[in-house]
Amino acid sequence: MDLPYRDKFDSIPDVDPQKLVQYFNLEYGLEFGPEAKKFTERDFQYLGVYEIVGRETMVWSVAGVEVCATAQPYENSFILGMDKCPVGVEPVNQAK
């Protein structure tokens, strides 16, 4: 497993947790479902910065899903995504 480290992320704005929440709710089709149990900030646990496929990537474990949330630097901002968790990082397995 790659060890967490910081480099390019030192010069970009912090990732807004609400952007992660909105992204996951949209991707899982929960944003517009009034009856759906939506993701909240409490569902995301920051794990650190890892090198994934040669790119510095901030990683969060996400409760109730088998993927991790990711943010990669892009110009003066970042790109949000979801991917398999890095080797050795277990997702939080709380029921959604």
Enclosing H/E stretch for 81: strand 77-83
pTM for this prediction: 0.75
Angle at 90 between CA 61 and CA 47, to 5 degrees: 40
Look up tokens 């109730």; give the residue: 64
In this prediction, residue 2 carries a pLDDT of 44
Query: Tell me: the pLDDT tens digits for 38-74?
Result: 899 899 988 888 888 788 888 998 988 888 999 998 8
Contacts of 63 (CB under 8 A, 6+ apart): 39, 42, 43, 44, 45, 92, 93, 94, 96
Three-class SS state of 86: coil
Enclosing H/E stretch for 52: strand 44-52
Contacts of 49 (CB under 8 A, 6+ apart): 4, 5, 6, 7, 9, 56, 57, 58, 59
In this prediction, residue 56 carries a pLDDT of 85
Higher pLDDT, 37 or 11: 37
